Structure 1
Amino acid sequence: MNGSGDERVTALRRGEGWTAWRQIADELTADIEAGRLAAGAQLPTEAALAARFGVNRHTVRRALAGLSERGLVRAAQGRGTFVEAPRLAYPIGRRTRFSEIVSQAGREAWGDLLAAAAVPADAATAEALDVAPGAPILELLTRHLADGVPLSTARTCLPLPRFSGFDRRYADLGSLTRAYAAHGVADYSRLATRIGARPAAADEAARLDMAPGRVLLAVTSVNVDPDGARIQATRSLFVADRVELVIEP
């Protein structure tokens, strides 16, 4: 079943205290759970769903919003609504590599560079990178995807001038690990990780193709090179419905 349409007609219960949008949401949930709508599948268009259930598009949109709030579907701007894939197990330990984790799960990994700027380090970032407050750092805003589905977005800071030009390498390679290798850092490891959670702000939700207010897992981390020098301070925001963080020793 996909956006090309669904020929079925489903009659809704009327006058029994059941709202139309909730009945539609329940029917679509049943389709997902039964595998009639598989993970990654595109839902029929709003027009097709409205015809199937004999309602207007506003009612269909309310039903889809309910499914999105529950983490069952995601709306991709300009492309339609898709069934969410199962959560990806995401190990966090001394060696954490987004590309490797996603690839080992049989999915294609990529990182988008959304913005980059040289800025003075604030107090928290300066402490994380072991530099003086106000020292120049390179700040990256990125988004990380598996099979084209956003899993996380991040603010990553690296010390300057050591990592001058790193943003261009990342934009070309789509991976921190590959960008580090191109920059002469063959390996790196996790020094510290802290995990929290909070609702998604509107701009974060738009960036991650998710409903505002859904839960984000906030992961703050510091990485070091083989000599122990601090090279990266990152605050990542993971979509809680799409990943399962696994803490490794």
Structure 2
Amino acid sequence: MMANLFEPLDRSCDVPVWRQIEQQVLQQIRNGELRGGAKLPSALELARRLNVNRHTVRRALDSLEQRGAILADPNRGLRVREECYDYPIGRRTSFSRNMHNLNVSSGNKVLGTALVMPPQRVAESLALARGERAWWIESSAHAEGRVLDHGQAWFPAARFPKLGDVFQRTGSVSLTLAEFGIADYFRSYTRVTARLAGTSTARVLEQSPELPVLVVESLNVDDKNQPVQYGLTCFAAERVQLVMSTAER
């Protein structure tokens, strides 16, 4: 189908055939005929459709990959690079606020809630007493139809009774905490690491397990510096660019 979008290649002009192929693919990306995430034919298939040498097509695709216009996915083949959103992380960090500032439609999906005995690192971060339980929330966030993150969050259960029910209804950390009287909260720390997505996270993010994710560990506190939320969020590295901001938000 992609070959039908090409104009006839001019073999008599000064522009090499491989460059003409590259320019036409770039034009299709710019005008929206090829959208982010769209799969491209293999070099062999595209060469057959265009009636050119496979090495000619390969050179065009290599150049497009070097430009960052396309990606070679080990499991999904060649595809158009997706638009990457800037995601500011600062003293106040909120997914809904960040997406609102970008003027894109977004939302959250609750994947699970439970009252649990949290891992030791979580308990220590939330300053929980020995044996104290926490609410665990698993969710995903999306923007313009694409899943951007897969998150897990823990909240002190004693301070936030029935938080699971509230979050199921609101789908928002900010709105949930507001119902418990916390009008504002602040980022105490953020740690960022990277890894391959793996099977379970890739399934939620709708991407290949072999593609990277940015793992953000964070702690939010209230205006009295009391912990209210510990989070571990995996962002699709191709779709989100983390921006560390020092500005007051």
Structure 2 length as normaliser, TM-score? 0.71
CA distance in structure 1 between the partners assigned to 2:233 and 2:103 by the alignment: 22
Measured at CA, do residues 190 and 36 of structure 1 come closer, stay the same or move farther in structure 2, by a change above 3 Å? Answer: closer
Contact 1:37 1:83 in 2 (8 A): no
CA distance in structure 2 between the partners assigned to 1:172 and 1:71 by the alignment: 40
- Report the equivalent of 1:121: 118
1:61-76 alignment runs, 5 A limit: none
Amino acid at match of 1:220: E
- Report the equivalent of 1:136: 133
- Report the equivalent of 1:204: 201
Contact 1:192 1:221 in 2 (8 A): yes
- SS in structure 2 opposite 1:143? strand
**Which of these residues, 160, 164, 168, is aligned with residue 167 of structure 1?**
164
Contact 1:40 1:83 in 2 (8 A): yes
Measured at CA, do residues 96 and 120 of structure 1 come closer, stay the same or move farther in structure 2, by a change above 3 Å? Answer: same
Contact 2:185 2:222 in 1 (8 A): yes
Q: What CA RMSD, in Å, does the superposition of the two structures yield over aligned residues? A: 3.4
- SS in structure 1 opposite 2:158? coil
Correspondence 1:226 to 2:223: yes
CA distance in structure 2 between the partners assigned to 1:32 and 1:168 by the alignment: 46
Amino acid at match of 1:116: T
CA distance in structure 1 between the partners assigned to 2:5 and 2:245 by the alignment: 49
**Which of these residues, 75, 89, 94, is aligned with residue 91 of structure 2?**
94
TM superposition shift of 1:237:
0.5
- Report the equivalent of 2:142: 145
Amino acid at match of 1:103: H
**Which of these residues, 5, 8, 13, is aligned with residue 4 of structure 2?**
8
- SS in structure 2 opposite 1:121? coil
Deviations 1:21-40 (A, max 9, x none): xxxxx899546544353546
Deviations 1:41-88 (A, max 9, x none): 8779x9xxx89966xxxxxxxx9xxx9xx8958xxxxxxxx9664211
Larger Rg: 2
CA distance in structure 2 between the partners assigned to 1:154 and 1:71 by the alignment: 28
CA distance in structure 1 between the partners assigned to 2:192 and 2:234 by the alignment: 10
TM superposition shift of 1:220:
0.2
Q: What is the aligned residue count? A: 209
Contact 2:134 2:155 in 1 (8 A): yes
TM superposition shift of 1:165:
2.1
Amino acid at match of 2:207: M
Contact 1:119 1:137 in 2 (8 A): yes
CA distance in structure 1 between the partners assigned to 2:204 and 2:229 by the alignment: 22
**Which of these residues, 225, 234, 237, is aligned with residue 234 of structure 2?**
237
Correspondence 1:35 to 2:31: yes
The farther-off stretch of 238-247 and 171-180 is 171-180
Measured at CA, do residues 233 and 35 of structure 1 come closer, stay the same or move farther in structure 2, by a change above 3 Å? Answer: same
Structure 1 length as normaliser, TM-score? 0.71
- SS in structure 2 opposite 1:8? helix
Deviations 1:211-233 (A, max 9, x none): 11111001100000112110100
Measured at CA, do residues 38 and 179 of structure 1 come closer, stay the same or move farther in structure 2, by a change above 3 Å? Answer: farther
Contact 1:112 1:143 in 2 (8 A): yes
Percent of aligned positions that are identical:
26
